[in-house]
Amino acid sequence: MIDIIITSYNEPKATLRAVNTILKQKIKQDFRITVVDPFDSVGEFLNKHIKSKKFRFFLDPGEGKSYALNFLFQEYGSENKDDLFILTDGDVYISDNAIEEILNSFKDKQVGAVTGKPVSVDSRKTKYGYWSKLLYDGIDFVRRRLSKKKFFFQCSGYLFAIRKGLVIDFPTNVPEDSVIPYLVWKKGYKIEYAPKAEVYVKYPNNWTDWVNQRVRTIKAHENLDREVPEMPRTKSFFNEIKQGLVFSLKYPKTFREFFWTFQLYFARVFVYLKSFIEMKSKKGFKDGWRETEIQSTKPFD
């Protein structure tokens, strides 16, 4: 059984698109899709528009994404290692071949987790769109390299998959796309990158949303040092400088893009500083559905 879990937060129309994109894929294995959302109204909307028996809605009790995932890992888990969990979000959608590409990667029995490739749907002609392309292409470059060397790397929370039976619980105050692959890796399995399994993401398009989203992500990742100190980090301030500086200097094609790249350096320093200051003042990351909604990343709702 392949369990595809879509976590969403009050984005019914976008989530409907995410579900329909999966339902139209040619999946030979038995599968079901579960949407997890803390809003009853989202369940009502989806049940009204989706008639497939493969679909079900799980009303999260509002305890946060990691709590909901732990719950479903335990309820849907099995010891059959050919069974999979595929995790994605309600505000993104996947390419037509994404599930097939992920399943192909799992043909290697040593592969325990597979991550897809986030692709920004924003235009490179705007500053935030350009930043999204630079950052996503940067992480694509890093993942290809680490995957080739068979090293550990963090997956993308927008789309990744694991074999069932490998993780039945995980800490809730760290990012699930980091800690789950690490727990899989610790059991002796490989992490694989499937760059043809694309997941399309709407990026924030203003400073406030961008800062809020980045700060939340950074705080979550910085918790890893405390909770899972032995875990190799893919996403960190120093890794960004070490692995991203040369890449980012080669990336711009026009004078305007060079200017935006330099703005991004200052913006990244700013969000890291803001995150560290907030963590010092005890406003660290806690699992829970978003404290601040990132409105500009919602495509329809």
The residues that touch another protein, with contacts defined as CB under 8 A, are 61-63, 67, 70-71, 73-80, 164-165, 168-169
Strand partners, 163: 84
Closer residue to another protein in complex, CB, 70/297: 70
**Beta-carbon contacts of residue 181 (< 8 Å; ≥ 6 apart):** 112, 113, 115, 152, 153, 154, 155, 160, 162, 191
Which tokens go with 203?
């990026």
Q: How far is the CB of 259 from another protein (least distance, A)?
A: 46
Q: How far is the CB of 79 from another protein (least distance, A)?
A: 4
Distance between first and last Cα of the chain = 31
Classify 88 as helix, strand or coil. Answer: strand
Q: How far is the CB of 38 from another protein (least distance, A)?
A: 10
Closer residue to another protein in complex, CB, 83/257: 83
Q: How far is the CB of 68 from another protein (least distance, A)?
A: 11
Q: How far is the CB of 58 from another protein (least distance, A)?
A: 14
Closer residue to another protein in complex, CB, 80/239: 80
Instruction: Say if residue 75 is exposed, middle or buried (CB neighbours under 10 Å; 0-12, 13-18, 19+).
Output: exposed
Instruction: Say if residue 272 is exposed, middle or buried (CB neighbours under 10 Å; 0-12, 13-18, 19+).
Output: middle
Closer residue to another protein in complex, CB, 83/278: 83
Closer residue to another protein in complex, CB, 47/78: 78
C-alpha closest to that of 140 among 155, 125, 123, 129: 155
Q: How far is the CB of 289 from another protein (least distance, A)?
A: 12
CA distance 249 to 233: 23
Closer residue to another protein in complex, CB, 56/233: 56
